[in-house]
A and B are shown apart, each in its own frame.
Chain A
Amino acid sequence: MVIGSGPIVIGQAAEFDYAGAQACRALREEGVSVVLVNSNPATIMTDVEMADRVYIEPLTPAFLTKIIAREKPDGLLPTLGGQTGLNLATELATRGILDDYNVKLLGTPLRAITRAEDRQRFRKLMRQIGEPVPESWIVEKDGELVELSRQSGLPWPLIVRPAYTLGGSGGGVAHTPEELIEIGQRGMRLSPRHQVMVERCLVGWKEIEYEVMRDANDTCITICNMENLDPMGVHTGDSIVVAPSQTLSDKEYQMLRSASLKIIRSLGIEGGCNVQLALDPKSFGYYVIEVNPRVSRSSALASKATGYPIARVASQIAIGLHLDEIPNRVTGKTLACFEPALDYCVVKIPRWPFDKFTSADRRITTQMKATGEVMALDRSFESALMKAVRSLEVGANSLRYKGASQWSDMEIESLLTTPTDERLFAIAEAFRRGLMIEEVAGLSGYDPWFLHKIRGIVQMEKRLRDHAADLNRDEAAGLLTEAKGLGFTDRTIAELTGRTERDIRALRTSLGITATYKIVDTCAAEFEATTPYYYSCYDREDER
């Protein structure tokens, strides 16, 4: 039996449908018959051909109990339906329903999930294995909150996170005792356990994530790591994210990879897990922020980014296969037991609904507001970023954003400092107005490497404008090649040079500047790929 994730809500969306559908397919290929339960019929996983039996019923313990009584499944796989599936499985187990009907919980054992999700137990475990966690306090009563707010020597600002909620909703950063009480009380109301965690705020630190997997034989691998452009303080679901990390040396990369593997081992997870870490940009200091002991929004992203089917492999692990018994379907020859090597850059940008909710507060914080996300691949960071921006469908064809030129300098400063959906465009506009990398880094907390890249895109806008007149064949070739490599569309080039899109396309095609297509093969071309997918770029070889 597989539990789906129910309605699509802010903080939990189609990624669980993607994961659940992958899992159903994988399980059936292994000869397992699948009973699927989901309250949301508008999903792929509830299509009749996905499972052997499909129940579209409310996701409540009562309904699930009835279905279990009727279907008598041998096992329950709860780690694919996001937080909803996990919470329900926990309920069913604690109420004794699973024992009554002799249903085996597949994949990660419940105690591992509790150890990962109960912040106090998780922190205790981290201390036992020597992994650093930020100072924090668990609060369950208003009185305790007031008492804490009066303590002297607190490491202000403090971050407040409610326990057991979707996308960390109801949290926030408190700068004063008054704010702490306000946010803390709200958080407790929203938490199903009436529990919030208050902790040292690591705003400004780099936020790095690792997607890791473990099988019952204790073999552990990393699928990929990701670096958030937005530093700590913005929910990772609301961050612009790049994979793999760009500004970490091997020492830092391996330090955090080792920590992630140590954590998944200590938790005893069987399947996939997402580990979030905060890294000091000025030292080897880091803190473990949290883990998601299941497939998540991040694992769906990592899957698409690397070609490694995390949900599929997680469900195969759940029914007892070991990583070295599962084939890598992309190469056909190698096994699922390896770490993908990327030879491209992946950029994810969240999609916020502020165009639909026009009066909503556009500020993004520790509570996820995005309702979706876009991902783009290319050989260069710039082009992956530009492709992603276009995919947002916010009317931007490049980093040129409607209304940006009318922003006052004060507005730009505030847009750089206070994260909103418009920060990326504000950074570009800041460079158009001549701000220095250091200034923008200071205001936004973005690593200078990313800012250099964004400034490079802005500089290309200017170069195209400046060379509009002499866009003759010889001189144009170099400039156009460079602009296409940075992800400029013909339309943007046309706008900047005062030509038509058709002109530019004809010009560059005549110069032989055309897109090529490369394969996502999980292994950076080391092995031949049999079932790959492609991305476009302006590199030399076309692999179609």
Chain B
Amino acid sequence: MKAYLAFADGTLLEGISFGAEGRSAGEVVFNTGMTGYQEVLTDPSYAGQIVTLTYPLIGNYGVNVDDIESRRVQVAGFVVHELSPTFSNWRASESLDAFLKRHNIVGITGIDTRELTRRLRHHGVMMGALSTNETPEELFERLRAHTSAYDDVDWVRRVTTPEAYVWGPEKRDAKYRIALLDCGVKYNILRELADRGARTTVFPATATAQEILADDPDGVFLSPGPGDPNLLGYAVDTVKQVVGSGKPVMGICLGNQLLGCAFGGTTFKLPFGHRGANHPVKDLTSGRVVITSQNHGYAIDGDSIGDPNVEVTQINLNDGTVEGLRHRELPVFSIQYHPEASPGPTDSRFFFEQFLKVIEERKR
């Protein structure tokens, strides 16, 4: 079946439908990772976005029951060059096509995704709409008149957990008790913490600092998440109070931006974001570079952070943007990329150990 992908700049691409039939809209973004489509699809940080992968052959290894990063498929739509008609991998339980049908997500294949990526690189990310049952005119009309801009929506409220829940070992077996502010957490963050003996209570993004600190956790974790941090004043306030409590705090991705904002910084939108598994990040202390997994459309302006005790610890080698922050006196640090990987390189997993070490030291 025919499907269309329309862009705010008037471009129309025709392809073939897969996954669910229907309509969707979102900010169109590209990811350059060559593996990990299942993790990308289920990552809450992609809420509200139509994702295209630059690697042309997708679906080869199917979909399995383990590699999910949240309760559902989060993307607004999925754009590929060639959907594999078959899949082969020992863990695969169904095809990508069946998986997207089951989760009611519209996909389109047969698109020149390199052309699409080049367009986004030139113009920056833009809004787009996908459809299997509208004429191009109807599609453009919907995109123009009936679709809210990505940056106007508080996506965090849409992906955060409605109720607090616990992940990890039983209380008596837990070495650490962590409180996590869920702005769109990926399961692998919880898995990494649990693997190291941490029992994590996951709080809704709207939880207050009092609620988060009520049970006297050993440390507080700020999760990644989707959307413009400027809409998250409530979470920034919470982070300010949490930091003020003196508890060890670690932030990832949006968590890095929330911390930056809490220390008086401002954020800006990147032209086409950082999404992929090959971003080089330099640690300014060691001089060493790690290859990181990234997924963000906004960044902290390092110069805007007023607090002289906050330093930029790492930068992106491609564009010099801030990749890590640290408070010189408080046990607080954050990174802009994904140490939990999934998908992507696992080279910076040691940050989880570092966080738990900070907790350990304070316990002594």
Contact = CB atoms under 8 A, between A and B. Distances in A.
Interface of A: 217-219, 221-222, 244-251, 253-254, 257-258, 261, 281-283, 322-324, 333-335, 337-345, 379-381, 447-449, 452, 518, 523-528, 539-541, 543
Contacts of A447: 88
A227 B56 CA distance: 17
Given A222-B291, A250-B36, A525-B117, A541 B112 contact: yes
Nearest to B87: A449
9 nearest interchain CB pairs?
A250-B36, A541-B115, A524-B54, A540-B112, A449-B88, A339-B278, A250-B343, A341-B32, A250-B35
A525 B290 CA distance: 22
B288 interface: yes
B34 A244 contact: yes
7 contacts: A221-B289, A250-B36, A251-B66, A251-B67, A282-B90, A324-B280, A335-B318
Interface string B44-77: 0000000000111100110010110000000000
Contacts of B88: 247, 447-449, 452
B103 interface: no
A339 B233 CA distance: 36
Interface stretch (B17-25, B78-86, B123-131, B158-166): B78-86
B60 A254 contact: no
Contacts of B56: 343-345, 379-380
Contact of B32 (A217, A283, A335, A523): A523
Contacts of A526: 30, 32, 54, 117, 121, 272, 276
A525 B121 contact: yes
Interface stretch (B2-10, B206-214, B217-225, B344-352): B344-352
B289 A254 contact: no
Contacts of A217: 287-288
B102 interface: no
Contacts of B55: 244, 341-343, 524
Point out which of B34, B38, B61, B118 has the most chain A C-beta atoms below 10 A from its C-beta: B34
A505 to B, nearest CB: 23
B346 A258 contact: yes
A135 B24 CA distance: 54
A77 to B, nearest CB: 24
A460 B268 CA distance: 51
Given A343-B56, A448-B86, A218 B288 contact: yes
B269 interface: no
A259 to B, nearest CB: 11
B282 A324 contact: yes
B32 to A, nearest CB: 4
B257 interface: no
A525 B82 contact: no
Given A340-B278, A449-B61, 8 more contacts: A217-B288, A247-B60, A258-B347, A283-B90, A335-B280, A381-B57, A449-B87, A524-B55
B36 A338 contact: no
Nearest to B66: A251
